[in-house]
């Protein structure tokens, strides 16, 4: 019986020690993981905090690049083509019909005529959705009797696009951070400093957005410079010679008429010149007679 009581006493002692150890462990965890003390707004928005935040401005190589979702390949296509067509009016009509079919538009439409070789020429600068660029090039080539030049260039701007997009996103994130600071600000000096920084950031955002929009347009729409003309035939060359000969005869006759009427217009000067010559001749004659005597 005595041994049984001693065993119960020892068991109760061990249990009490275990409870004390658990209580000490809970107290230690409470001290280690206690919630941080929240500072007042005026402590957060002092000048040094603003300067420290400004130094932490993200750059283009920030980890925010992981936010980019569009990582597809970005390609800019452009080309030039020059060809000869027997009927340039029909060729121009076909090109414009194909352009309308594929959703493109004309940037420039120029027409020239070279009178020396009697050649009529059209030049079209067009923009076409990139996915239909190859179809339009094939359609234009089909309108040609003879292709003189055909150059197509493809530029990969994927890296440039991602870099510009990342920088723009980082600037927008930075703008939002400054807006949050602006809401918490209390000192006028801090508010003015944040406002100046926001103005600078927004200016950078507008500039970057404009550049990105222009790059997107180049990617979405390909450009093609088309020049086509008619060939000068032998008959046209003979006609040109005949026309030049007739023009020269007419120009010579006009020159002769102008010379005749020009002489007529200075008749008083001619009369005076004749009188002076007649008087000078008489004077020399009289002088010769006196010398002979």
pLDDT in tens, 50-90: 343 333 444 444 444 444 456 788 999 999 999 999 888 89
pTM for the whole structure: 0.53
| Whether residue 73 is found in the same domain as residue 213 | yes
Q: Which residues make beta-bridge pairs with 127?
A: 105, 223
Q: What is the tally of structural domains in the chain?
A: 2
Chosen domain end from 203, 232, 261: 232
Question: What's the rounded Cα separation, in Å, for the pair 144 and 137?
Answer: 11
Q: Torsion over CA of 60, 66, 72 and 78, rounded to 10 degrees?
A: -10
Nearest to 186 by CA among 28, 24, 50: 50
Chosen domain end from 207, 232, 257: 232
The whole domain housing 273 covers: 234-292
- Residue numbers of the chain with a pLDDT score lower than 70: 1-70, 115-117, 232-243, 245, 291-293
Percentage of the chain surpassing pLDDT 70?
69
| Whether residue 260 is found in the same domain as residue 196 | no
Looking at residue 65, its pLDDT comes to 43
| Whether residue 159 is found in the same domain as residue 121 | yes
What is the pLDDT of the chain when averaged over all its residues?
76
């Amino acid at each position: 019986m005595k041994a049984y009581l001693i065993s119960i006493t020892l068991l109760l002692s061990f249990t009490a020690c275990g409870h004390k150890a658990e209580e000490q462990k809970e107290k230690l965890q409470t001290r280690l993981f206690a919630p941080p003390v929240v500072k007042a707004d005026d402590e957060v928005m002092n000048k040094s905090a603003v300067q420290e935040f400004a130094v932490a401005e993200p750059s283009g190589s920030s980890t925010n690049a992981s936010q980019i979702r569009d990582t597809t390949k970005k390609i800019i296509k452009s080309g030039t083509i020059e060809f000869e067509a027997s009927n340039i009016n029909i060729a121009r009509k076909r090109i414009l019909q194909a352009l309308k079919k594929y959703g493109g538009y004309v940037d420039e439409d120029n027409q020239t005529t070279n009178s020396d070789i009697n050649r009529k020429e059209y030049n079209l600068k067009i923009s076409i959705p990139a996915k239909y660029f190859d179809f339009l090039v094939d359609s234009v080539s089909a309108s040609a009797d003879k292709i003189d030049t055909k150059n197509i260039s493809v530029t990969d701007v994927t890296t440039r696009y991602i870099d510009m997009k990342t920088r723009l996103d980082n600037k927008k994130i930075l703008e939002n951070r400054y807006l949050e600071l602006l809401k918490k600000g209390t000192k006028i000096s801090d508010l003015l400093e944040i406002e100046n920084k926001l103005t600078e950031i927004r200016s950078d955002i507008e500039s970057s957005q404009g550049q990105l929009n222009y790059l997107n347009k180049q990617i979405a729409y390909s450009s093609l410079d088309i020049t086509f003309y008619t060939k000068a035939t032998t008959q046209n060359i003979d006609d040109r010679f005949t026309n030049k000969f007739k023009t020269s005869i007419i120009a010579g006759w006009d020159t002769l008429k102008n010379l005749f009427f020009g002489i007529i217009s200075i008749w008083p000067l001619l009369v005076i010149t004749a009188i002076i010559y007649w008087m000078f001749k008489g004077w020399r004659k009289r002088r010769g007679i006196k010398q002979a005597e």
